[in-house]
Each structure stands twice: as structure tokens, then as C-alpha cells.
Amino acid sequence: MADLYRAAAVSSALSAGRRFGLRTEAAEVLHERSNVLVRMGPVVARVPGTTQLLRPDATPWLERDAKLSAYLTQRGVRVVSPTTDPPAGPHFAEGLPVTLWQWTEHDPDHRHSPDEVAGTLARVHAALRDYPGELPERGPVGELRTMLARNRAAMSGFADRISTETDRLAALLPDTPGQPLHGDAHPGNLIETADGPCWLDFEDTWRGPLEWDLAILAQQGGPEFLAAYPGEADKAVLATCTQLRALFAVGWRFLIAQRFPHRLGEAHAAAAAYFS
């Protein structure tokens, strides 16, 4: 059966591309999961995929991604940059928001060392500390609550437990002002270019404890990545963020199962494992 989310996103990307005279005849789909990425010559269009199920209007997330990336580019931090001509957007095409990015040549097989990942992430954090724009302040907590509101029936017997656990973890997060974060700081969001490592995908940014990014770094990289980060983490906050990230992954699996129903068993297994 055709994947309607992919089809809608590709159609929106091509529509936006035609609007700006991009090379749509040679379009190439680069990625088609959380977001759909469509390359049209020197420009890559980014359109919500699975995220449509969580964010019916993803415009604020895409807008923050483009603004933070432009801010970091202006400060000499190596990130994938939004376009300026045509403007990055978000643009609306066939009912979906589309942002436009510069195609960045990179080595897809390169694997960065813990020092490279942690060191460049620290530079991103340092550059973001003075970011003046508005950012969400509850990040994954707010998203989990939205998942529950939109997906409670699919979560069946786990919905109440996920809700209670979200509230428990939220109460353990620091109530002091946080700093702008990457939001999804795993090694897969760092690519190797001719100029060196380059971060991308700031869509999930929020203002929170640094330990959120470090928990992701450790979970999806490994403890050696956390050890390489040039700074100390609060162990209690790190433990809370690690649990919160794991719970978020459970909720995300239920979203994936809405798009791909045959994967509902994976979501139930992940929830059962979390609460075991």
C-alpha cells in the first residue's frame, strides 16, 4: 500500500520547488521518515512526514529550525544552512509547510569519534547561549502530553501509565531557566563535510537543562561520548533526562504505528519493556 505521508510530503516539496524555479525534474528523495527530504539541485526541501501525526501544523518547529541554523551560521558555527535565495520559509505548498536548505556535500559513511561529536556539540551550546529568540520551555514533556492527547486510544492499556510517568519526570526537571538546546543531539545528526563536522536538524530545540542533550548523546552514542563532553553534568538531572528520552521514544513508536500499523507490536513491546 502506498505511503500517503511520503507521497503528500514529496508532492508539497515539488510544488514549492516549482514555485521557485528549482530543478524538480531531477528531484531525489533523500529521507522519508520523521521528515521527508527532497533534493532539487543545490536545494533540499524539508517537509513533515511522521511528525504530521504529532504536529498538525509543524510551522513553528520548522521556523525555529531555520532561525537557529541561520543564527549559528552567522556566528561561524558549522551547520547545514537554510537558503537565502530562495528564502528558507516555511512556505506552504499543498497544505504542508516546507523549508528550504542548502545541499551540503558530505560523506554518508563517515563515523565521528566521541571527541568530534562532543566537542562540536559543546561549541553549538556555547554559541546558542545568547540566542535571543523564543523557544519552548517544556520540550519533550509538552510533546509527550500532545502524544497522549492525540493518540490515547492507540496506546490502549499504556496511556495512563505514560501520562503518570510523564508527570513524575516533569516534576523532577530543574525549575531554573535552561539554555537553548539542540534537542536531538545524537551522532546521526552530525555529518562530515569537506570543511569538517557539521550539525543539522534543530527542529526539536527547546530551552531546558543541558543534560537533555547529553542524555541523548550518551543513549545513542555511548558513555564514551558523554565522557568526551567538556563539562560536568548533574547526575540526578541526567538520570531524569535519560528516562524522559526513553519514555519519549515509547510515545514516538506509537506515532510510527499510526503511519505503519504493522509496527504496533513494536510499540507495545517498547512500552512493556519501559515499565518492566
- Report pLDDT digits (tens) over 91-107: 999 999 999 999 999 99
Q: Is 60 exceeded by the pLDDT of residue 1?
A: no
Residue % of the chain over a pLDDT of 70: 99
Q: Is 50 exceeded by the pLDDT of residue 137?
A: yes
Distance separating alpha carbons of residues 214 and 198, to the nearest angstrom: 18
Strand partners, 15: none
Nearest to 203 by CA among 222, 228, 189, 184: 184
Would you give the end-to-end CA distance of the chain in angstroms? Answer: 35
What's the rounded mean pLDDT across residues 122-149? 94
Q: Are 235 and 210 in contact (CB under 8 A)?
A: no
Confidence class of residue 202 from pLDDT cuts 50, 70 and 90? Answer: very high
The three cell numbers locating residue 70: 541561520
Distance separating alpha carbons of residues 37 and 190, to the nearest angstrom: 16
Distance separating alpha carbons of residues 80 and 84, to the nearest angstrom: 13
Query: Which of helix, strand or coil describes residue 99?
Result: strand
- Report pLDDT digits (tens) over 233-262: 999 999 999 999 999 999 999 999 989 999
Alpha helices (H) along 181-234: 210-220, 223-228
- Report pLDDT digits (tens) over 12-65: 999 999 999 999 998 999 999 899 999 999 999 999 999 998 988 899 999 999
Query: Residue 33 CB: number of other CB atoms within 10 A?
Result: 13
Strand order across the 28-32 sheet: 28-32, 35-40, 43-48, 96-102, 91-93
Q: Which residues contact 177 (CB under 8 A, 6 or more apart)?
A: 207
What's the rounded mean pLDDT across residues 208-234? 94
Indicate the residue type of 43: V
Confidence class of residue 2 from pLDDT cuts 50, 70 and 90? Answer: low
The pLDDT of residue 3 is 85
Distance separating alpha carbons of residues 35 and 58, to the nearest angstrom: 11
The pLDDT of residue 219 is 92
Which phi and psi angles does 231 have, rounded to 5°? 175, 160
Distance separating alpha carbons of residues 156 and 79, to the nearest angstrom: 40
Alpha helices (H) along the chain: 4-19, 59-74, 114-128, 139-151, 159-172, 210-220, 223-228, 235-259, 264-274
Domains of the chain: 4-102 (3.30.200.20), 114-274 (3.90.1200.10)
Distance separating alpha carbons of residues 215 and 37, to the nearest angstrom: 27
What's the rounded mean pLDDT across residues 137-143? 93
The pLDDT of residue 246 is 97
Residue % of the chain over a pLDDT of 90: 88
